[in-house]
Amino acid sequence: MPEQLYWEDIEVGAEITPLAKIATTQMLVRWAGASGDFNPLHYDSAYVASAGLGQVIVHGALKRQWLIQLMTDWMGDQGFLKKFSCQYGAMDYPRHMQSISEPQDGETWHCRGKVTRKYIDGEIHLVDCKVSLENGKGEITTSGKATVILPGKSTDAHPG
Amino acid sequence: MIPEEIKKLIGTSGAVQYYAVEKGAIRRFAEAVDDANPLFQDEEYARKSPYGGIIAPPGFFGWPQKQVRDSPLAVDIPPELEAAFEKAGYPLSLVLDGGMEYEFFLPVRAGDILSAVTTVRNLRERTGEGGSIIVSFLDTVYHNQAGELVAKQQLMFVRRSLNSPPPEAVHA
């Protein structure tokens, strides 16, 4: 894990360390099993065609979880994710597999974020951020907001 | 107009559901995301962390303790609401996840047993492009085995009627 971030070190406008992700059909199957979302829109191409869609689509909740990872990677072990929200604006389509473990060449997604506000509430040191997921064409397909409690140089962040 | 038999469910809640947070399930969830954070899988690392043990990634609340989930989706839609949607011609097969909001109060830890209650907070109709679309806002509150508030979740589900356009048009 990277070095711990402190609230004092962050400025409004600071970029959150971006996170690159590749959705594959295999990842969607893993996500279905791990999350319990067994909607065939995410793995059955014949079903997808009958539903009027072109290809299997990436689960919205998986995209959410990528953006949550963007935040948890950035805030470090002493940070605490206080709030998170996102809306799914457009569909994403996974890469197909070229071998049992390797995806075909294709799209890579980028999770990005920026600090929009920095403040103290009582003893708690907080930052608000906006986050987004960009597809391979640079289009934003999911956007959201996060609030993180960070340790101050003399305070503790996590409520656990 | 939202059909009356659906609208009257605003404010109602489903039964309490219990979720077991097992460390293997946490690891599998993190692996599915491709998230290698050791807090979610390395016991020794997590023990020395401020949390003192393995925690779940925010957004993971464990797995239903009994197989009470009727839905093939990863969400507990109150059964009365699901039945009303089906009856009114808004089948589960035409549901789309619109987004969500979380507020977290405490970490979810390996070994926790969470209780969850889901309430139908609101229903809104969106008109346009031919068919009817109802957005349902479902609030879930999670407590841990000590009775402490762990998280609040709001899910936004988009339900399309049988004669509505395919989801591409909904998102466009």
The model's pTM is: 0.94
Structure tokens at B19: 């979720």
Same domain for B146 and B107: yes
| Cβ atoms A71, A150 nearer than 8 A | no
> Coil, strand or helix: which one is B169?
helix
CB-CB neighbors (< 8 A) of B38 in chain A = 1
Are B99 and A85 in contact (CB < 8 Å)? Answer: yes
Closest-CA residue of chain B to A76: B37
Q: With CA atoms as reference, report the closest residue to A76 among A154, A148, A153.
A: A148
Secondary structure, 3-state, A102-116: CECCCCCEEEEEEEE
Among B51, B96, B103, select the one facing A160 at the smallest CB separation.
B51
Separation of alpha carbons A38 and B88, rounded Å = 23
Residue B56's pLDDT is 98
Name chain A contacts of B57, Cβ cutoff 8 Å: 65, 68-69, 72
Q: Are residues B87 and B113 in the same domain?
A: yes
Q: State both tokens at A23.
A: 């959705």
A78/B50 Cβ within 8 A: yes
| Higher-pLDDT residue of B132, A129 | A129
CATH code, domain carrying B154: 3.10.129.10
Q: State how far the Cα of B108 lies from the Cα of B84, in Å rounded to an integer.
A: 33
Alpha-carbon distance A117 to A134, whole Å? 22
Q: Determine the pLDDT at residue B130.
A: 62
Q: What is the mean pLDDT of residues A147-151?
A: 97
Tokens of B70: 């009727």
Are B113 and B138 members of one domain? yes
Q: Which residue of A26, A63, A87 is the best one to mutate when testing the B interface, meaning the one whose CB has the most B CBs within 10 A? A: A87
Per-residue pLDDT of chain B (172 residues; tens, 9 = 90+): 888 999 999 999 999 999 999 999 999 999 999 999 999 999 999 999 999 999 999 999 999 887 655 567 777 788 889 899 989 988 888 788 899 999 999 999 999 999 999 999 999 998 766 678 899 999 999 999 999 999 999 999 998 887 766 655 444 3
pLDDT at B119: 96
State ipTM: 0.94
Same domain, B145 and B91: yes
- Within an 8 Å CB–CB cutoff, is residue A50 touching chain B? no
pLDDT at A76 over 70: yes
Q: B13 and B92 share a domain?
A: yes
Assess whether B67 and B151 both reside in one domain.
Answer: yes
B10 and B67 in a single domain? The answer is yes
The residue type found at B47 is R
Compare CB distances from A87 to B99, B107, B167 and report the shortest one's residue: B99
CATH number attached to the domain at A7-22+60-149: 3.10.129.10
Instruction: Give the rounded distance of the alpha carbon of A149 from its chain centre.
Output: 18
Q: Is A158 on the interface with B (CB under 8 A)?
A: yes
For residues B51 and B9, membership in a common domain is answered with: no
User: Which residue from A34, A69, A84 is facing B28, i.e. has the nearest CB?
Assistant: A34
Is there a single domain that holds both residue B160 and residue B141? yes
The tokens 């809306």 sit on which residue?
Answer: A87
Max distance between CA atoms of chain B, in angstroms, equals: 57
- Closest C-alpha to A24, from A32, A15, A16: A32
Amino acid at B167: P
Q: Are residues B54 and B72 in the same domain?
A: no
Antiparallel, parallel or unpaired: β B149-160 and B17-20: unpaired
Nearest to B99 among A77, A78, A88 (CB): A88
Same-domain status, B17 and B71: yes
The whole-number pLDDT of residue B169 equals 46
Radius of gyration for the alpha carbons in chain B, expressed in angstroms and rounded? 18
Q: Domains in chain B: how many in total?
A: 2
Per residue in B147-170, is it b (16+ CB within 10 Å) or e — as a string? eeebbebbbbbbbbbeebeebeeb
The single-letter DSSP state of residue B40 is G
The CA-atom distances, in angstroms, between A44 and each of A134, B3, B72, B74 are 25, 32, 14, 17
Q: Are B74 and A61 in contact (CB under 8 A)?
A: yes
Of A132, B152, B109, A124, the C-alpha closest to A148 is A124
Partner-chain contact B103 A83, CB within 8 Å: yes
Joined tokens for residue B147: 């009775």
A11, pLDDT greater than 80: yes
Could you give the CA distance from residue A29 to residue A42 in angstroms, rounded to a whole number?
Answer: 8
Q: Is the pLDDT of residue A63 over 90?
A: yes
The answer to whether B40 touches B30, Cβ cutoff 8 Å, is: yes
User: Are residue B50 and residue B71 in the same domain, yes or no?
Assistant: no
Q: Nearest CA of chain A to the CA of B48: how many Å? A: 11
The span from the first CA to the last CA of chain A, in angstroms, equals 19
Burial of A67 (0-12, 13-18, 19+ CB in 10 A): buried
- Host domain of residue B74: 4-21+61-171
Q: What percent of chain A has pLDDT over 90?
A: 89
Closest residue in chain A to residue B148, using alpha carbons only:
A160
